Structure 1
């Protein structure tokens, strides 16, 4: 096929020898099958912000670190340079996550290089050597559904132990390779320790798995793996070997209402005192 414009620099630099076909076009990127020497790989061409339809990006990018304060200020002001930095941060997030997760033993495509908004990585294939189908396109027996669900829960735990949450995990972002499920599409990967919405994203990822596999194994629909995993993570007891039951612990500790009200009142008085100091007003009972 004709070489797409965004891939021409890679062809000219010898990183890609031939573009074989377009694999898919999604909300944040278009993916092509390419030949690199004797290997067939895929090239993920990221769309710019105007074309990208991924919603609520701020919820995912919170906590991502930038190189210096100048870049941070530019991003806050929304300048042209700041927008460029935001794009690079968005694209590099997937590359960083792929390398980190691969090192942690998570089943993700092997990344090779990311340049000019194009990520070269492993092409995931099935038993026949064809492009692996998405999980959504595969029929599963109840037993196979339970096996895949358990395997993917383990992958979610491995990711969290590495400090990463997928953030958009579903049957559409999982490929069924010859040797089992492979997790893909990580530009929205979340820093578990730095993002205030990390728990929400983790539990949604896990619930998406339960909802999908629950079509084949209905008992999975009532499990609480997301809450259970997060409880272990917060308690510092989560490892890749932590046994999971699918049931979250219930906190029956009674709320100390008197103590809570005292804290609220103390906070209110502190805030009032701060406002008076800012306005140059003396506190009641004191002379100016």
Structure 2
């Protein structure tokens, strides 16, 4: 078959590099937010990774890194790769699901969770939405003198956006959580069912490390599913239990389980990209 790939690009797109890019960023997100919450005294250690949206620097990392991952999942996994060498076991619906996971990641990034996620102490600096904002600090032409911007700080994205006092217990309030659940469930499926398939004829030859990679994929996929299950049970059974939630949030357990799921997802993609020589095939480096 004639090679029709472009030759005049100043870079090379390699699927392993795409896997590595997704993996490193996904793994680095909880690590960077953990460091931020522990090392910067003016930033609260929020109850969940999602609540870091409301922190200086942390919000930029959260939106930027999730957007990067989401766009790669959405745009760089092509339907044409299914059935090709290195993806022999892939099906068109696997690629479709990965793209849906990319869309879900973008929704998680740009539709924030509700609530402040923190009991703020003196000196800590959050950022929030401002409802019913009025005034200006630097606009040169104003119809009347207004010295500063005033309004009601809020952590309710939909309430402020739609001009309402509060939106709770509605479909809009659940967009973030549903998108996060869809994203993690799809990623768990890919790790457990797609990455573990024989995707190259070399994958069963002597000297191959496919079995080692598959053991890692299965363990990491179960970590993702376990974290999602725990968070789902907490939401379903204990959403109104004040004593339980006080202990849960005090221990930052939502952050812990979200971090485990993200780290497992990232590590699985890093293994797929052969980030360490131990995962590379000794005789057939292209085996999948």
Q: Same fold (TM over 0.5)?
A: no
Based on CA coordinates, which of the two structures has the bigger radius of gyration? 1
Taking structure 2 as the reference length, the TM-score comes to 0.23
Structure with greater proportional strand content? 1
Larger relative contact order (CA 8 Å, sep ≥ 6): 2
Structure with greater proportional helix content? 2
Taking structure 1 as the reference length, the TM-score comes to 0.23
